Amino acid sequence: MRHKKMFYLIILLGLMIPTLALASVSVYVDQEKITFPDQQPLINADNRTLVPLRFVTKALKGKVVWLAPTQTVEIEHSVGTISLTVGKNFAYKNGEKIPLDTTAIIKGDRTMVPLRFISECFGAHVYWNSSKRKVFITTQLPPVNEFKGIPFKPEDLPFKGGSRPLERSDRSSARVQYVQVNDLPIRLSSDYIIYGLTVDNEYIEIKQYSSINIPAPMYMIENGQLSRGRRYTSDLQESTIFTYKYPVQSRLEQALGERPVNLADIEGFTFHALCEGNFRMLVIANPLYQGEN
């Protein structure tokens, strides 16, 4: 009896594996679902999404030249030129050699190219929702201001209670930038762009893009000190730019008997990241702050 059960289990698993391998991948560009008439997008052995080359011309508005003798693709776009060869683990962007974490292939008489690499080379945001097997690409983006920091030392914004400084914030390369809400969006690092901030009695909502799908850490500034770090809450939104909600009040602080947050006393909100190993902090003034006239 045990052998018969094992036999049926093996048969069942054998039927499931092809189904998982053939599960479809949906691609959306600026909220519009893209239709692929023949060869569909696929996930390769490197766990990377590949799409038919014609996708580049149709959805990302690039001009493609196929060089058959060398199996090389040249793509011209308003932001520059990309060249990659089938089977090679590198590409060229505007003549600069760039390593790839996967390769282009030929499948079903179609050239399949790495979706994230091509999209990001064209300045688009990319987000992969693994649970829904959906790729979201945003090409229509507002102009972004670059981070322009000044030297920062931990004593400029010490932690309330004397906690240890943030990672690498005590190095001479550490920088901070103080801004108003209307100065956004700002590129905090290669991984983060802060697009907007709104505040109400329940949440601080931060509209941001993260290439690593993890939002930048946030602290409040109160009496010139860093305090009240907050964890975010957010649904898996079908977009590349997320609105992360940080609760104003903390259940832990309430359980410890700390006084509730009075937003009128909060001077600003900080977000920090590492850029090429260097500490960066963006301080956004709280629009509800009433401590100074």
273-283 residue pLDDT tens: 999 999 999 99
Cβ neighbours for 80, distance < 8 A, ≥ 6 positions apart: 93, 94, 121
**Can you tell me the distance from the alpha carbon of 241 to that of 192, in angstroms, rounded to the nearest whole number?**
10
What percentage of the chain carries pLDDT values higher than 90?
A: 59
- Tell me, what's the pLDDT at 129? 85
Give me the residue label for tokens 């097997």: 133
The CATH number given to 23-138 is 3.30.457.10
- Tell me, what's the pLDDT at 162? 72
Cα 205 from chain centroid? 17
Is pLDDT at 12 greater than 70 in this prediction? Answer: no
**Can you tell me the distance from the alpha carbon of 269 to that of 246, in angstroms, rounded to the nearest whole number?**
11
Please state whether the peptide bond connecting residue 151 to the residue before it is cis, i.e. omega within 30 degrees of 0. Answer: no
Q: Which of 23-27, 108-112, 162-166, 192-196 has the weakest average pLDDT?
A: 162-166
What percentage of the chain carries pLDDT values higher than 70?
A: 90
Residue 169: strand, helix, or coil: coil
Indicate the pLDDT class of residue 100, thresholds 50, 70 and 90: very high
Q: For 111-136, b where at least 16 C-beta lie within 10 A, e where not — what string?
A: bbbbbbbbbebbebbbbbbeeeebbb
Is pLDDT at 236 greater than 60 in this prediction? Answer: no
Is pLDDT at 14 greater than 50 in this prediction? Answer: no
- Biggest alpha carbon–alpha carbon distance for the chain: 82
Tell me the domain boundaries of the chain. 23-138, 145-285
Is pLDDT at 109 greater than 90 in this prediction? Answer: no
Instruction: Tell me the CA end-to-end span of the chain in Å, nearest whole number.
Output: 82
Is pLDDT at 131 greater than 50 in this prediction? Answer: yes
C-beta pairs of 99-103 under 8 Å, 24+ apart in sequence: 101/46, 101/48, 102/44, 102/46, 102/48, 102/50
- Tell me, what's the pLDDT at 16? 41
State the average pLDDT for the chain.
87
Residue, of 16 and 168, whose pLDDT is higher: 168
Indicate the pLDDT class of residue 211, thresholds 50, 70 and 90: confident
